[in-house]
Structure 1
Amino acid sequence: MSDNHSSKAILYAFSANLAIALTKTAAAVWTGSGSLVAEAVHSFADCGNQVLLFIGMKRAAKQPTARHPMGYGRESYIWSMMVAITLFSVGGMFSIYEGLERLHDNHAVENAEIAIGILLAAVVMEALSLKGALGAMRGEQGSRSLWRWFRETYSSELMVVIGEDLAALLGLVVAAAMLGLTLLTGNAIYDAIGSMLIGALLILVALAVGYEVHALLLGEADREIRDAVTDYLSQQPVVVQVFNVWAINHGNDVMLAVKVELLPDLTVSQAVSLSNSLEKNIKAAQPRVKWVFFELDNAD
Structure 2
Amino acid sequence: MAESKIPIYGAIGANVAIAVTKFIVAGITGSSAMLSEGIHSAVDTFNGVLLLVGLHLSKRPATAEHPFGHGKELYFWSLIVAVLIFGLGGGVSFYEGIQHIRQPEPMRDPTWNYVVLAAAALFEGTSFLIALRQFRGQARGVPFWEALDRSKDPTTYTVLAEDSAALAGLAVAALGIYFSHALNMPMLDGVASVVIGVLLAGVAVLLIAQSRGLLIGEGVRPETAKAIRAVVMEQPSVEGVGRVLSMYVGPDEVLVVVDVDFKDDTPTGDAADAIAAIEKQVRARFPMIRRIFVEASDAPGGDASAARPGAAS
Q: Say whether the fold is shared (TM-score over 0.5).
A: yes
1:247 paired to 2:246: yes
Q: Tell me the equivalent position of 2:118.
A: 120
Deviations 1:209-245 (A, max 9, x none): 0011100001111215434323322333333222222
> Which structure exhibits the higher relative contact order, with contacts defined as CA atoms closer than 8 Å and separated by 6 or more residues?
1
| Contact 2:136–2:144 (Cα < 8 Å) also in 1 | no
Closer/same/farther in 2, CA of residues 107 and 76 from structure 1, 3 Å limit: same
**For the residues of structure 1 that align with 2:238 and 2:149, how far apart are their CA atoms?**
32
Instruction: Give structure 1 regions of 4+ aligned residues with deviation exceeding 6 angstroms.
Output: none
Tell me the SS of whatever aligns to 2:70: coil
Offset at residue 250 of structure 1 (A): 1.0
Aligned to 1:188: 186
Letter in 1 for 2:244: V
How far has the Cα of 1:298 moved from its partner?
4.8
2:55 corresponds to which of 54, 57, 63:
57
Relative to 1, partners in 2 of residues 1:70 and 1:94: Cα closer, same or farther, differing over 3 Å?
same
Instruction: Measure, in 2, the Cα distance between the counterparts of 1:297 and 1:172.
Output: 59
1:215-294 paired onto structure 2 within 5 Å: 215-223=213-221, 225-251=224-250, 252-294=252-294
Percentage of matched positions with identical amino acids: 32
Do the aligned partners of 1:152 and 1:222 also contact (CA within 8 Å) in 2?
A: no
Root mean square deviation of aligned Cα: 1.7
Q: Show the counterpart of 1:150.
A: 148
Instruction: Report the counterpart of residue 40 of structure 1 in structure 2.
Output: 38
Structure 1: any 5+ residue segments left out of the alignment? none
Q: Deviations over 1:124-183 (max 9, x none)?
A: 211111111111111333454444333332112222111111111110110011111112
TM-score of the two chains, using structure 1 as the length reference: 0.93
Aligned residue identity for 1:187: M
Q: Is there any run of 5+ residues in structure 2 with no aligned partner, and where? A: 300-313
**Cα distance in 1 for residues equivalent to 2:206 and 2:146:** 13
Alpha-carbon distance in 2 for matches of 1:236, 1:112? 72
3-state DSSP class of the match of 1:295? strand
- Are 1:80 and 2:78 matched, yes or no? yes
- Number of aligned positions between the proteins: 297
Q: Supply the distance in 1 between the matched residues of 2:282 and 2:191 (Cα, whole angstroms).
A: 55
Residue type of the partner of 2:241?
V
